[in-house]
Structure 1
Amino acid sequence: MNRLKGWAESLRRDSYALYLAARNPQVSPFAKFLIAMIVAYILSPIDLIPDFIPVIGYLDDLLLLPLAIALVIRAVPEDVWHACRQQASNELTMETPYRTQVVVVIVLIWLIALAYFGSICLDWYINMSA
């Protein structure tokens, strides 16, 4: 379990380091294009292999994304990559005083949205029953 947590943390750090590398002027336009494609794929609701296909549907998330990230890391100059990775490690481990407050605000927004949606569903149900 600790190995899986370490792998997930490494993926998180490397993803943030890729963001930092994309903003670095020493990185080639080709590498920046690859980074943009990976981010677009991560944010896209469309997968190469749909998730509803059992087991195989998660292969793109578990195998293709880490492989794509590894490819892009090779396209970034080594010294730039090490600097971006170090900066990502420093920023991700740094405690921000507002982190808890941001989480509370986001949870409140979700709770308000769910309560609103629930009230709409309840009104619809009452109107359908009458």
Structure 2
Amino acid sequence: MKRGSLKRWAALIKGELLTVFYAVRDREAPWPARLVALAVAAYALSPIDLIPDFIPLLGWLDDLVLVPAGFWLVLKLMPAPVMARAQARAAVQRDRLPRILRLAAAGLALWLLTLIGLLVWWLG
């Protein structure tokens, strides 16, 4: 895959992430789609992987395959009216992340800083 096409693919995923966020929170979103979205988010954020990341290439391969595949499945399970409402809402909110996503990013940053601090303390 060329570098330019990889960047376009990453931008597409980033753009659709906000749409999926709003679609999953819609009252008419089916439960299977919500559960798949929750499982994909949990897997993507979890430090536990099917294949540990320290195994060269294979460790990242599960993340590069399972997360986009789960994301695609969520998009396919969502009804068209739910996706249309979510896309409209995401288009209005493109420049600003929802509060819960900002809190999640802050929590992840705090977790990483704590992990780095413990590592420095342990090595020092």
Greater gyration radius: 1
Work out whether 1:78 is the aligned partner of 2:80.
Answer: yes
- Number of the residue aligned with 2:31: 29
Q: Give unmatched runs, 5+ long, in structure 1.
A: 97-101, 126-130
The one-letter amino acid paired with 1:91 is Q
Q: TM-score, normalised by structure 2?
A: 0.69
Q: How much is the aligned-residue C-alpha RMSD, in angstroms?
A: 3.0
TM-score (norm. length: structure 1) = 0.66
For 1:87 and 1:20, the matched residues in 2 are separated by: 7
- Whether 2:64 is the aligned partner of 1:62: answer yes
Distance in 1 separating the partners of 2:78 and 2:96 = 28
| Matching residue of 2:4 | 2
Other structure's SS at 1:49 match: coil
Contact 1:51–1:57 (Cα < 8 Å) also in 2: yes
Partner of 2:16: 14
Change (3 A) 1:22 1:95: closer
User: Percent identity at matched positions?
Assistant: 32
2:93 aligned with 1:91, yes or no?
yes
The count of aligned residue pairs is: 106
Unaligned 5+ residue runs, structure 2?
none
Partner Cα separation in structure 1 for residue 84 and residue 5 of structure 2: 22
1:2 Cα offset (Å): 2.2
How far did 1:86 drift? 4.1
Paired amino acid for 2:21: Y
* Over 3 Å off, 4+ runs: none
AA in 2 matched with 1:80 = V
Contact conserved, 1:13 with 1:85, CA < 8 A, in 2? no
